[in-house]
Structure 1
Amino acid sequence: MTVPARCRCCIAGGGPAGMMLGLLLARAGVDVVVLEKHGDFLRDFRGDTVHPSTLDVMADLGLRASFLARPHDEVRTLRATISGQPVTVADFSRLSAAHGFIALMPQWEFLDFLRDEAERHANFRLWLDAEAVGLTEDVRGRVDGVRFRDAQSAEHLLAADLVIAADGRRSTLRAAAGLPVREIGAPIDVLWMRLPKSPGDENQTGGYIGAGYFMATIDRGSYWQCAYVIPKGGITAIQSRGIEAFRAVVARAAPSLAGRVNHITGWDDVKLLSVAVDRLDRWWKPGLLCIGDAAHAMSPIGGVGINLAVQDAVATANLLRDALANRSVDADALTPLLARVQQRRLFPARVTQAVQVAIQNRLLAPVLQRDGADAAPFGVPWPLRWMQRLPWLQALPAYAVGIGVRPERVRP
């Protein structure tokens, strides 16, 4: 790896926020380097819901058609089975034609697409097997570079006028910068697993809710990607009862999949997502800006994390790209713009997290606390009952999930 002495902008983290920002800055002529600690983007059980707000960004870039040419599935309605009763939770077809579906695309396809588009620009560089491990600062305490480690564990320094921390909910760089994290709390964890599809299965992403259980099922074409929600820290108790008992729990939650639970052969087939909901009080310090999960870790509820990260990237590019592209603008002049990014994106992050926490505390936690064997059936909540009587109301959760609060568009 040939490491230059300096770049204009260094982005740590090749996830949705980092790769989208890298593409947007490269298109604006900014000298940008993205550091990704893994050797590729092939990780399983990552979020893969691309919402209409993100498809709008692709349209702004003239890339919507080529993006949707990648392998994906389209979800137009979200349904749930509550104590055996099917209900429609959200209907995206009631939004505009451009917003009529969520695209389910493996995250590696999404990131590969962003990389391919970014690499059309000579001023973009993606370094794989490059893990950001620390920051460098000048005598005034301003961040002026990144320390990173390659696949051979050799450490390198890269000076930068601006460092973007897009390295996820356990961000190394935000910790290195000493930015305090506000823990908002999550009473749940999620167990991810795959179950095969059968030819007679309905192609419908949805979920199962009942006394003592909540399980989401995402249609991935040839298999169901299943998310079984458990109380926070409950994995030890579940594993102590054995894999056979867990298979029985899954079969009870999703009776239509009961004949396939033997495909869960052991705990290696079950991946734990430790859910965290947190937020930085301040997303920046001179020379450094945190975006995406590094600034605000989201619950998996609604699958909105990817799309909030993309919105952060778009807002960051809109506010910073002209200054970054103009080399006569020195690094100190960028600092006021970092505060403007937080001012722009803090409100949607706070509102979204507040809704997620309300759902966690008022719906999921009470459901999971029930004794599934003895509790009375869990009834359909009254808002969902009204949505079945007045189907046009199903557009409201579709908009909240698909478009969200303060959606960003790429400025010409």
Structure 2
Amino acid sequence: MQTSSNTRCCIVGGGPAGMMLGLLLARAGVAVTVLEKHGDFLRDFRGDTVHPSTLDILSELGLKKRFDALPQHRVTGIEGLFADGIHALGDFRGLKPFPYMALVPQWDLLTLLADEAERYPNFTLRMRCEATELIRREDTGRVAGVITHTPEGPLHIGADLVIGCDGRHSRLRNAAGLRPRDLGSPMDVLWFRLPRHATDPDGTYGVPGRGTLLVLLNRTDYWQIACVIPKGGAAQLRERPIAEFQARIARRVDFLGDRVNSIASWDDIKLLEVRVDRLPQWHCPGLLLIGDAAHAMSPIGGVGINLAIQDAVAAANLLAPVLLAPGLPDEATLAAVQQRRLLPTKIIQAIQIFLQRRIIARVLAAHDDGKLVALPGAARFLLRFRLIRSIPARVFGVGFRREHIDSP
């Protein structure tokens, strides 16, 4: 049984950031190993919103046609269901070259990236391989690899650079003693799905109401639904009969009333404990953190997957030339990745925190009377103009300091 191996770069976590970075480094000629603790990519209710910024990266990689063949629903606008009717809130149609957002199962996207990466002989993907500890050099303390658990037993993987893409509960981050700053969130999210009928509305909707905010994502044959609740409120809800929750959804969205019974029990509802945080420093000698491991995002705008991929592109652009040259990557190069991605991360998080505090927290604090709210007159007037409606689509769909592939 193999108990050790070596690689130039070891990426921990086979999510969007890890798989994109692994593909880009392998494509550049770097020997790279990606570790994924699960046996497959199948996970319910992970980020499925692929924004125009990511579509652009896929196009640059020559993968857009293969991506288009995946099962998906294209969204050109976001609408709100209000007491006074349906109103357009966001409009992607003015964005170029991709005037839409694609709702795609994340496992399909990750499989596409993995299949492309495995074309390169210098790429290795190890499934069911969970990194639990860091290996450090005795003389300098520099990170020199990871210790992993596999079905066959422990495996030590030596690496000149370790990159942590292992999510908001990153074990590598904890092992390195790096502590994120908690920026706060007043909400958690309950995710579930309901059947979608041919007679249902065809859009993707936000449904604001006193005490509750719903988001309905059109997945063609079903609705993927987010129910935003006050932070820490899930335990109290779960003490009540599931029928009360079913009735709550039916009151909010009347066309779902005939199918809420398909939520058989609380086991059909998944909890996302929302965190918004950011590491003051994303690196130490021999280790770099990107994506949620460096900055957990609110689900507002569905930007998590796309910001993680932007991190991966920036990291590949800066790291590939260094990893192709002899020697160890120095901290200045790792710091350059953080410097490149810190400003766009701060801007998006600031917008999310503003919306959480000024809008969502007030909605959740109100007494839940089961009624929808009306769109204020001033907002209704402004949203008549496509330029105004395009602002949220541009902010979240394109972002700030947009990355393009520059690695060889």
Deviations 1:251-274 (A, max 9, x none): 112222111110011011111111
Partners in 2 of 1:253 and 1:285 — Cα distance?
A: 49
Partners in 2 of 1:389 and 1:90 — Cα distance?
A: 11
Does structure 1 conserve the Cα–Cα contact (< 8 Å) formed by 2:4 and 2:155?
Answer: no
Q: Residue in 2 aligned with 1:349?
A: 345
Partners in 1 of 2:186 and 2:378 — Cα distance?
A: 23
Deviates more, 1:239-248 or 1:123-132: 239-248
Deviates more, 1:378-387 or 1:50-59: 378-387
Measured after TM superposition, the shift of residue 391 of structure 1 is: 2.6
Q: Residue in 2 aligned with 1:82?
A: 82
Partners in 1 of 2:173 and 2:64 — Cα distance?
A: 33
Does structure 2 conserve the Cα–Cα contact (< 8 Å) formed by 1:90 and 1:398?
Answer: yes
Partners in 1 of 2:370 and 2:194 — Cα distance?
A: 27
Partners in 2 of 1:156 and 1:239 — Cα distance?
A: 40
Q: Is 2:160 the partner of 1:161?
A: yes
Q: Residue in 2 aligned with 1:144?
A: 144
Partners in 2 of 1:336 and 1:251 — Cα distance?
A: 55
Does structure 1 conserve the Cα–Cα contact (< 8 Å) formed by 2:168 and 2:295?
Answer: yes
Q: Residue in 2 aligned with 1:372?
A: 368
Q: Residue in 1 aligned with 2:61?
A: 61
Counterparts in 2 of 1:293-304, with a 5 A limit?
293-304=292-303
Q: Residue in 2 aligned with 1:408?
A: 403
- Which residue identity does 1:21 align to in structure 2? L
Does structure 1 conserve the Cα–Cα contact (< 8 Å) formed by 2:13 and 2:34?
Answer: yes
Q: Residue in 1 aligned with 2:392?
A: 397
Partners in 2 of 1:216 and 1:29 — Cα distance?
A: 42
Partners in 2 of 1:310 and 1:73 — Cα distance?
A: 20
Q: Residue in 1 aligned with 2:5?
A: 5
3-state SS, counterpart of residue 93 of structure 2: helix
Counterparts in 2 of 1:58-207, with a 5 A limit?
58-96=58-96, 98-138=97-137, 139-152=139-152, 154-207=153-206
Does structure 2 conserve the Cα–Cα contact (< 8 Å) formed by 1:207 and 1:214?
Answer: yes
Counterparts in 2 of 1:175-254, with a 5 A limit?
175-254=174-253
Does structure 2 conserve the Cα–Cα contact (< 8 Å) formed by 1:320 and 1:334?
Answer: no
Deviations 1:7-66 (A, max 9, x none): 000000000000000000000000000000000000011110110000111111122122
Partners in 2 of 1:263 and 1:207 — Cα distance?
A: 21
Q: Residue in 2 aligned with 1:263?
A: 262
Partners in 2 of 1:320 and 1:135 — Cα distance?
A: 21
Aligned residues: 406
3-state SS, counterpart of residue 229 of structure 1: strand
Partners in 2 of 1:222 and 1:374 — Cα distance?
A: 26
- Which residue identity does 1:182 align to in structure 2? R
Deviations 1:147-171 (A, max 9, x none): 110135x211111000000000000
> What stretches of structure 1 move > 6 A for 4+ residues in a row?
none
Does structure 1 conserve the Cα–Cα contact (< 8 Å) formed by 2:164 and 2:289?
Answer: yes
Measured after TM superposition, the shift of residue 381 of structure 1 is: 4.6
Q: Residue in 1 aligned with 2:31?
A: 31
Does structure 2 conserve the Cα–Cα contact (< 8 Å) formed by 1:88 and 1:387?
Answer: no
Q: Residue in 2 aligned with 1:336?
A: 332
Sort the Cα spacing of 1:15 and 1:3 in 2 relative to 1 into closer, same or farther, 3 A. farther
Pick aligned residue for 2:379 from 353, 376, 384? 384
- Which residue identity does 2:342 align to in structure 1? L
Does structure 2 conserve the Cα–Cα contact (< 8 Å) formed by 1:219 and 1:225?
Answer: yes
Measured after TM superposition, the shift of residue 4 of structure 1 is: 5.2
Partners in 2 of 1:269 and 1:374 — Cα distance?
A: 22
Does structure 2 conserve the Cα–Cα contact (< 8 Å) formed by 1:89 and 1:387?
Answer: no
Percent of aligned pairs with the same amino acid: 50
Deviations 1:279-318 (A, max 9, x none): 1000000100000000000011110000000000000000
- Which residue identity does 1:350 align to in structure 2? K
Deviates more, 1:104-113 or 1:85-94: 85-94
Does structure 1 conserve the Cα–Cα contact (< 8 Å) formed by 2:2 and 2:155?
Answer: no
Does structure 2 conserve the Cα–Cα contact (< 8 Å) formed by 1:320 and 1:337?
Answer: yes
- Which residue identity does 1:207 align to in structure 2? G
3-state SS, counterpart of residue 297 of structure 1: coil
Structure 1: which 5+ runs fail to align? none
Does structure 2 conserve the Cα–Cα contact (< 8 Å) formed by 1:251 and 1:261?
Answer: yes
Does structure 1 conserve the Cα–Cα contact (< 8 Å) formed by 2:84 and 2:374?
Answer: no
Deviations 1:175-227 (A, max 9, x none): 00001210011110000001001121122111211122100011111100000
- Give the root-mean-square deviation of aligned CA atoms: 1.5
Partners in 1 of 2:161 and 2:378 — Cα distance?
A: 46
Partners in 2 of 1:65 and 1:374 — Cα distance?
A: 44
Q: Residue in 2 aligned with 1:289?
A: 288
Measured after TM superposition, the shift of residue 384 of structure 1 is: 3.5
- Which residue identity does 1:185 align to in structure 2? G
